[in-house]
């Protein structure tokens, strides 16, 4: 699926750099995490499609028709910056061609990525030590069609503790400001894990920082990457372990209500389809048995 979609739409990447997309970059100042976002105003307080959420797998539906194709750059210059509330890496590290929960296929190009420690999203009530959110903006050809108001796609990669250091974290050193742009091969660092078909959850939500605009298609990958305790300590020292930062809270927004939103699971063979096939097979056998008896 990944290869076929990428080949079909690769031509879009030639013009995927939207000259106006720079004005869409989020800012990360003027707010804090002391109350995990409970004191934020505007859409952050009144919106019905707010993120992050706890993904309850029992309330979601499996959908084999979903497509999710992410291609990572093999050579891209990035810069790491300290935004005060989080560390941000700027660079077009990936492209996505994916369907949303309604089956609409859209292409996006990455603008930047940020880290939240601990994770903002939860799966079945389980929090993770770290979450990397790769923020993508809609490609121009898809934007011109004006078929969707969800002009952003955020890919969330969760991390769990491991005895082995994470090669990407080591390479980009994400808790340190870049003096010069760093040339990085994200295809090697992430492509081997996430460029293939992987289980993920798709839903529609918002940015998790003010102004909390509700125009984001989320793709939360359910298979976490590993990170060593030493690497995680770098983030902890800046946020959850720092009494001067949000009174020792992490830089994660509190969970928001799902509000009957649709959550779909992709990247897997749906079990219900096997159940339907098995039930049909049993019914077929019984019908043929009774027909045989009547002959």
77 belongs to a structural domain: yes
Report yes or no: 164 and 137 within 8 Å, Cβ to Cβ.
no
- Residue 257 confidence (pLDDT) above 50: yes
* Structure confidence at residue 59 (pLDDT): 65
Answer whether residue 7 is part of any domain: yes
Quick one: which H or E segment has residue 293? helix 271-294
Asked, for residue 226, whether it belongs to a domain, the answer is yes
- Looking up residue 147, the CATH number of its domain turns out to be 3.10.200.10
Q: Which domain holds residue 77?
A: 2-270
Burial 28-48 (b: 16+ CB within 10 A, else e): beebbbeebbeebeebbeebe
Quick check: is 287 in a domain?
Answer: no
278 found inside a domain: no
Q: Please tell me the distance from the alpha carbon of residue 164 to that of residue 131, in angstroms, as a whole number.
A: 18
Strand partners, 133: 114, 156
Buried b (16+ CB within 10 A) or exposed e, 194-218: bbeebebbbbbbbbbbbbbbbbbbb
Is 25 contained in some domain? yes
Give 291's pLDDT tier (boundaries 50, 70, 90).
Answer: very low
275 part of a folded domain: no
Number of domains making up the chain: 1
Where does the pLDDT of residue 127 fall: very low under 50, low under 70, confident under 90, or very high at 90 and above? very high
Torsion of CA 32, 160, 207, 249, to 10 degrees: -10
Evaluate whether residue 262 is within a structural domain.
yes
pLDDT in tens, 85-116: 999 999 999 999 999 999 999 999 999 999 99
Q: Report the predicted TM-score, pTM, of the whole model to 2 decimal places.
A: 0.85
CB contact set of 21 (below 8 Å; sequence gap of 6+)? 111, 137
């Amino acid at each position: 699926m990944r290869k076929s979609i990428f080949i079909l739409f690769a031509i879009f990447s030639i013009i995927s750099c939207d000259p106006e997309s720079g004005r869409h970059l989020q800012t990360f100042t003027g707010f804090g995490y002391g109350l995990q976002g409970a004191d934020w105003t505007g859409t952050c307080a009144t919106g019905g499609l707010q993120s992050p959420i706890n993904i309850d797998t029992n309330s979601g539906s499996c959908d084999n028709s979903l497509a999710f194709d992410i291609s990572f750059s093999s050579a891209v210059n990035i810069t790491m910056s300290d935004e005060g509330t989080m560390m941000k890496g700027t660079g077009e590290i990936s492209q996505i061609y994916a369907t949303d929960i309604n089956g609409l296929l859209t292409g996006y190009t990455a603008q930047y990525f940020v880290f939240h420690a601990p994770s903002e999203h939860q799966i079945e009530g389980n929090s993770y030590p770290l979450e990397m959110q790769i923020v993508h903006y809609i490609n121009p050809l898809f934007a011109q069609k004006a078929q969707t108001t969800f002009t952003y796609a955020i890919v969330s990669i969760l991390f769990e503790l491991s005895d082995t250091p994470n090669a990407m974290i080591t390479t980009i050193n994400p808790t340190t400001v870049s003096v010069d742009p760093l040339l990085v091969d994200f295809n090697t660092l992430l492509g081997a894990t996430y460029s293939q078909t992987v289980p993920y959850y798709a839903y529609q939500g918002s940015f998790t920082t003010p102004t909390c605009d509700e125009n984001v298609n989320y793709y939360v990958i359910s298979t976490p990457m590993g990170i060593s305790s030493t690497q995680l300590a770098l983030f902890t020292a800046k946020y959850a372990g720092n009494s001067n930062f949000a009174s020792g809270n992490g830089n994660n927004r509190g969970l928001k209500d799902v509000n009957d939103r649709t959550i779909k699971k992709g990247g897997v063979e749906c079990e219900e389809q096997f159940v339907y096939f098995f039930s049909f097979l049993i019914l077929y056998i019984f019908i043929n048995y009774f027909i045989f008896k009547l002959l």
